[in-house]
Amino acid sequence: MIFAESWSVIFSPSENKEGALCLYMNSPEQVQLLRLFQRAAPQSFFLELARKHGCRFRDGIYTNAVVVWLMIWQRLHGPRSLEAAVQHLLQGGAGDLVSDCKRWTEDTVSAGTAAYCKARQKLPTLIAEEVMDRILQQLGAELQEGWVGLKRPIFVVDGSSLQLKHAPALVRKFSPGDNQHGENHWPIMRIVVFHDVWSGLALRPSWGAMYGDKAVSEQALAEQALERLPADAVGWATAILEFSHTRMQCIRVGVGGFCG
């Protein structure tokens, strides 16, 4: 694919400092990564989201900002366990994201994982999605220089599938499907994502079931993802997507064009 062939160019630290920043984000120095997160999604943004969606703003140990940060930290470092995330928090890993609640000031924050686990489960999906979109917008703005002569942003879209953990809730939502030997064991998720060709940033993906009565096609997921593209963007898809329908969807949402 063109995207894969361009990877070394896009992320070459010797050619541009922006590329170096993206490359650095894969193995970051933790303090700098935290500062980047705070700059992209400041505390005021979380307050704004809480008001927008009518959510109660938690001012305890695990605020929305702390929960989102710890979840990002977990994914970028292993992924790490809940215990590791809580220890990271207790060792100052969330910096000044932490609130001024009584347990912090009295140094009585528990090392148990129950509170963090519940806070993750209670994090509103809409807030998680908007925080992700905001981070991508801010990073995109910092990396917007692009190649000389490139007037519009170009995004590569492709689909794939993910094998999930076997759990009752996941099996109900993402059917494992079956074959000639019977029902499969692992739930399968279908996913479609747009990548910015210049920066390498992946936009928030769209996903759904790959098998069963809740199955969704790559074309349908691509249509959902189109809503998150910039208005002047050009999409670049693999041959697996049916272009006639996708082109019409581009016109409906105002995306600049689509090619394959």
Structure tokens given for 52: 């927008």
Q: What is the mean pLDDT of residues 70-76?
A: 90
**Percent share of the chain, pLDDT over 70:** 77
Last residue of a domain, one of 129, 156, 187: 129
Please report whether residue 139 resides in a domain: no
Alpha-carbon span 209 to 162, nearest angstrom: 10
- The average confidence (pLDDT) of the chain is 79
Residue 143 · residue 223 · CB < 8 Å: no
Residue 260 · residue 243 · CB < 8 Å: yes
Alpha-carbon span 164 to 174, nearest angstrom: 9
Please report whether residue 122 resides in a domain: yes
* pLDDT tens column, 14-60: 334 343 333 334 445 778 889 889 988 998 899 899 888 887 766 78
How many domains, the chain? 2
Last residue of a domain, one of 99, 129, 159: 129
> Nearest-CA neighbor of 31 among 88, 112, 109?
88
pLDDT higher than 90, residue 148? no
Please report whether residue 137 resides in a domain: no
pLDDT band at 144 (very low <50, low <70, confident <90, very high): low
pLDDT band at 146 (very low <50, low <70, confident <90, very high): low
Please report whether residue 115 resides in a domain: yes
Both 108 and 206 in one domain: the answer is no
Both 204 and 158 in one domain: the answer is yes
User: Which residue range(s) make up the domain with 71?
Assistant: 17-129
Q: How far apart are the first and last CA of the chain?
A: 11
pLDDT band at 239 (very low <50, low <70, confident <90, very high): low
Q: What is the mean pLDDT of residues 62-90?
A: 91
Q: What is the mean pLDDT of residues 176-193?
A: 91
Residue 69 · residue 99 · CB < 8 Å: no
- Which has more pLDDT, 240 or 207? 207
Alpha-carbon span 122 to 194, nearest angstrom: 28
**What CATH number does residue 157 fall under?**
3.30.420
